[in-house]
Amino acid sequence: MIRFPADVVSRLRSFYEGRSVCVTGGAGFIGGHLVDTLHSLGASVCVIDDLSSSSLDHLGELLAMEPERVRFVQGSILDDDAVRDAVRGSAVVFHLAAIGSVPRSIEDPERTWQVNATGTLRVLQSARAHGAERVVFAASSSAYGDSPTLPKVETQVPAPRSPYAASKLAGEHLISAWSHSYGLSGVSLRYFNVFGPRQPADSAYAAVVPAFVKRIASGEPLTMHGDGSQSRDFTYVANAVLATLLAGSARLRTSGEVVNVGTARRTTVRELATMIGERCDRPSFPITETPPRPGDV
Ligand SMILES: NC(=O)c1ccc[n+]([C@@H]2O[C@H](COP(=O)([O-])OP(=O)(O)OC[C@H]3O[C@@H](n4cnc5c(N)ncnc54)[C@H](O)[C@@H]3O)[C@@H](O)[C@H]2O)c1
CATH superfamily of 6-193+233-263: NAD(P)-binding Rossmann-like Domain (3.40.50.720)
Nearest CA to ligand 1 atom 43: 100
The confidence band for 45, taking pLDDT boundaries of 50, 70 and 90, is very high
pLDDT at residue 207, as a whole number:
93
Q: For 113-136, what is each residue's pLDDT tens digit?
A: 999 999 999 999 999 999 999 999
How high is the pLDDT of residue 71?
97
Position 205 scores a pLDDT of 85
* Domain residue ranges of the chain, discontinuous segments joined by +: 6-193+233-263, 194-232+266-297
- pLDDT score recorded for residue 148: 85
In the CATH scheme, what is the code of domain 194-232+266-297? 3.90.25.10
Mean pLDDT throughout 81-99?
98
Q: Is 27 touching ligand 1 by the criterion CB < 6 Å? A: yes
Handedness of CA 191, 173, 78, 185 (dihedral sign): positive
User: What is the rounded distance in angstroms from the CA atom of residue 245 to the CA atom of residue 21?
Assistant: 11
Closest CA to 106 of 297, 261, 294: 294
Contact 143, 229 (CB under 8 A): no
pLDDT tens, position by position, 173-218: 999 999 999 999 999 999 999 999 999 998 888 999 999 999 999 9
Do the domains 194-232+266-297 and 6-193+233-263 match in fold?
no
Please give, one letter per residue, the 3-state secondary structure of 165-232: HHHHHHHHHHHHHHHHHHCCEEEEEEECCEECCCCCCCCCCCCHHHHHHHHHHCCCCEEEECCCCCEE
Compute the radius of gyration of the chain from its Cα atoms: 19
- Give the atom of ligand 1 at the shortest distance from the alpha carbon of 119: 31
Tell me the three-class secondary structure of 119-172, residue by residue.
HHHHHHHHHHHCCCCEEEEEEEHHHHCCCCCCCCCCCCCCCCCCHHHHHHHHHH
Task: Please state, for a pLDDT cut of 90, what percent of the chain lies above it.
Answer: 87
Please report the atom of ligand 1 found closest to the CA of residue 76. Answer: 32
Say if CB 53 and CB 25 are below 8 A apart: no
- Mutation test residue for ligand 1: of 54, 175, 205, 296, the one with most atoms within 8 Å of CB: 54
Distance of CA 22 to the CA centre of its chain: 15
Q: How many CB atoms lie within 10 A of CB 211?
A: 19
Task: Write the pLDDT tens digit of every residue in 269-289.
Answer: 999 999 999 999 988 888 888
Is 193's C-beta closer than 6 angstroms to any atom of ligand 1? yes
**Residue of minimum CA distance from atom 9 in ligand 1:** 138
DSSP state of 99: -
Question: Is there a contact between 124 and 178 (Cβ–Cβ < 8 Å)?
Answer: yes
